[in-house]
């Protein structure tokens, strides 16, 4: 009875993000009521292995008592304070220090926001601000990539290179450009090596910069691994070639570590895994294991100095959020970082990640599987109608979403992306045995849809 009442209330009062609102009126919600380790339980008592760590974010699973205790302690001691106008508090200070020390390249300062979208929005504003400060008011264009995902605020959604995030929102805004996607499986030409494809991507970026005028291009945003765009790993040599182009034309590199940061790829940062040397780094999600909303922007000294100097000239750095470095969120993030260290979460990623990659690659010869990719505890299986030509299923067939629906019925929550890509990104605490359970449940779903498709 309670379940029915909750379902009715959901349908009557809630707008769901990233949801077909018409279809939702028929399908209704899956209502989670409890978490335990890598599992969540719905209002009927059914358990699901959360194969996406929620939204790539619940790195320590759904029942870590130390994070709850850290929040309770801070809530009792100082439930709120801000960082405006020379104010501060210990959790915010300590978290700044920890992040700067842990950065993949030397960083000077940290600025706090509440989400990855806000962090990337903040990075854009900082870039525009410092170019004005440096007497380069024309150097404002920012390049992202097709199929990139950088958020949903007006500016960050403009960076995002996915059609659904632009259509009917009047996006992208001016001065946001998109270069080619680094998806070798989909975009590589017949006979073109992975290295040659990477070089071509860099050449296309350089051609765009020259066409726009390098004096007008300020920054390039990149996820080490493209997440919502299909778990696309960079081809060999890609970031080496891209960074050479950026350096040649004095263009900042912003590494969006919202998904990759804090161990997802097997190293602490995706930038370390793939050789990025960012001028600005944004992070969120696993920063607090998603237990509290918090994100950060890290900047090098070269970025910080004009930011600092211009605020002195104007009288303030006129940007910030009421909840920037919220003390409860910062305290939870500090405890999260401590747990990563004490429990050797990177060591677990190495062991469980190897098992995930082994299980994923076991599907390479499956009749519906065109491409398998991944590293650490992130991966994807791309489903195709024709393995030889990489020919996709018609979008109307919804093969990927059907597999994900069947997987949910089998007790594992995954995510389908455009192009019939099924993504995997379980909590970083998952064991090899739980990886096997997750993949066994996925197998049931894939075989059910295969029987429907092949007859």
| Dist CA 397 CA 152 (whole Å) | 27
Identical fold between 31-63+344-454 and 68-342: no
What b-and-e string marks burial along 309-342, b requiring 16 or more CB atoms within 10 Å of the CB?
ebeeeeeeeeebbebbbbbbbbbbbbbbbebbee
| Dist CA 338 CA 324 (whole Å) | 21
Run of H or E residues at 394:
none
* Residue count (the chain): 455
pLDDT at position 2: 56
- CA distances from residue 185 to 246, 371, 375, 387 in whole angstroms, order as listed: 25, 7, 16, 11
Domain boundaries of the chain, sorted by first residue: 31-63+344-454, 68-342
CATH of region 31-63+344-454: 3.90.1150.10
| Dist CA 217 CA 252 (whole Å) | 9
Helix axes 327-342, 345-361, angle to 10 degrees: 80
Nearest Cα to 148, choosing from 236, 230, 86?
230
CA angle centred on 231, ends 238 and 343, rounded to 5°: 100
Sheet containing strand 32-36, edge to edge, reads 32-36, 39-42, 47-50, 412-413
Say how many Å lie between the first and final Cα of the chain, rounded: 39
pLDDT at position 3: 75
- pLDDT tens over the chain, length 455 residues: 457 899 999 999 999 999 999 999 999 999 999 999 999 999 999 999 999 999 999 999 999 999 999 999 999 999 999 999 999 999 999 999 999 999 999 999 999 999 999 999 999 999 999 999 999 999 999 999 999 999 999 999 999 999 999 999 999 999 999 999 999 999 999 999 999 999 999 999 999 999 999 999 999 999 999 999 999 999 999 999 999 999 999 999 999 999 999 999 999 999 999 999 999 999 999 999 999 999 999 999 999 999 999 999 999 999 999 999 999 999 999 999 999 999 999 999 999 999 999 999 999 999 999 999 999 999 999 999 999 999 999 999 999 999 999 999 999 999 999 899 999 999 999 999 999 999 999 999 999 999 999 97
pTM for this model (two decimals) = 0.96
Measured in degrees and rounded to the nearest 5, phi and psi for residue 110 equal: -125, 140
Run of H or E residues at 241:
helix 238-248
pLDDT at position 455: 79
> Across-strand partners of 232?
226
| Dist CA 108 CA 131 (whole Å) | 18
Q: Is 434 helix (H, G, I), strand (E, B) or coil?
A: helix
Q: Strand runs (DSSP E) across 194-325, as ranges? A: 217-222, 252-256, 280-283, 295-299
The answer to whether the beta carbons of residues 283 and 258 sit under 8 Å apart is: yes
CATH of region 68-342: 3.40.640.10
pLDDT at position 418: 87
């Amino acid at each position: 009875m309670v379940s029915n009442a909750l379902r009715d209330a959901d349908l009557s009062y809630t707008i769901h993000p990233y949801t077909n609102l018409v279809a939702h009126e028929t399908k209704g919600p899956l209502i989670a009521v409890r978490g335990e380790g890598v599992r969540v339980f719905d209002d009927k008592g059914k358990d699901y292995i959360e194969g996406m760590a929620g939204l790539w974010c619940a790195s320590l699973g759904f029942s870590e008592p130390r994070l709850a205790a850290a929040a309770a302690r801070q809530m009792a001691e100082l439930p709120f304070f801000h960082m405006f106008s020379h104010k501060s508090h210990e959790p915010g200070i300590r978290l700044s220090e920890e992040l700067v020390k842990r950065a993949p390249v030397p960083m000077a300062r940290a600025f706090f926001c509440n989400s990855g979208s806000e962090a990337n929005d903040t990075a854009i504003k900082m870039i525009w601000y410092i170019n004005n400060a440096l007497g380069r008011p024309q150097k404002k264009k920012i390049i992202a990539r097709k199929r990139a995902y950088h958020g949903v605020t007006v500016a960050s959604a403009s960076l995002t290179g996915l059609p659904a995030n632009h259509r009917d929102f009047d996006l992208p805004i001016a001065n946001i450009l998109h270069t080619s996607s680094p998806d070798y499986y989909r975009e590589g030409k017949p006979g073109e090596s992975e290295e040659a494809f990477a070089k071509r991507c860099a050449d296309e970026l350089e051609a765009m910069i020259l066409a726009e005028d390098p004096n007008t291009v300020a920054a390039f945003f990149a996820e080490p691994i493209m997440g919502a765009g299909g778990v696309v790993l960079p081809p060999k040599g890609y970031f080496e070639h891209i960074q050479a182009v950026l350096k040649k034309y004095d263009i900042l590199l912003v590494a969006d570590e919202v998904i990759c940061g804090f161990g997802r790829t097997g190293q602490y940062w995706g930038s370390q895994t793939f050789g990025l040397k960012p001028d600005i780094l944004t992070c969120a999600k696993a920063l607090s294991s998603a237990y509290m909303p918090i994100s950060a922007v890290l900047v090098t000294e070269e970025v910080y100095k004009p930011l600092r100097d211009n605020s002195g000239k104007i009288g303030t750095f006129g940007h910030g959020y009421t909840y920037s470095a919220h003390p409860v969120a910062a305290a939870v993030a500090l405890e999260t970082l401590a747990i990563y260290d004490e429990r050797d979460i990177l060591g677990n990623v190495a062991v469980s990640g190897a098992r995930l990659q082994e299980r994923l690659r076991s599907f390479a010869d499956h009749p519906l599987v065109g491409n398998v990719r991944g590293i650490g505890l992130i991966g994807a299986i791309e489903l195709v109608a024709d393995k030889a030509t990489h020919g996709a299923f018609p979008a109307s067939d919804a093969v990927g979403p059907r597999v994900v629906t069947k997987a949910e019925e089998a007790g594992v929550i995954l995510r389908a992306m455009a192009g019939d890509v099924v993504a995997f990104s379980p909590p970083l605490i998952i064991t090899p045995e739980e990886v096997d359970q997750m993949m066994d449940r996925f197998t049931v779903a894939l075989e059910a849809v295969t029987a429907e498709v092949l007859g």
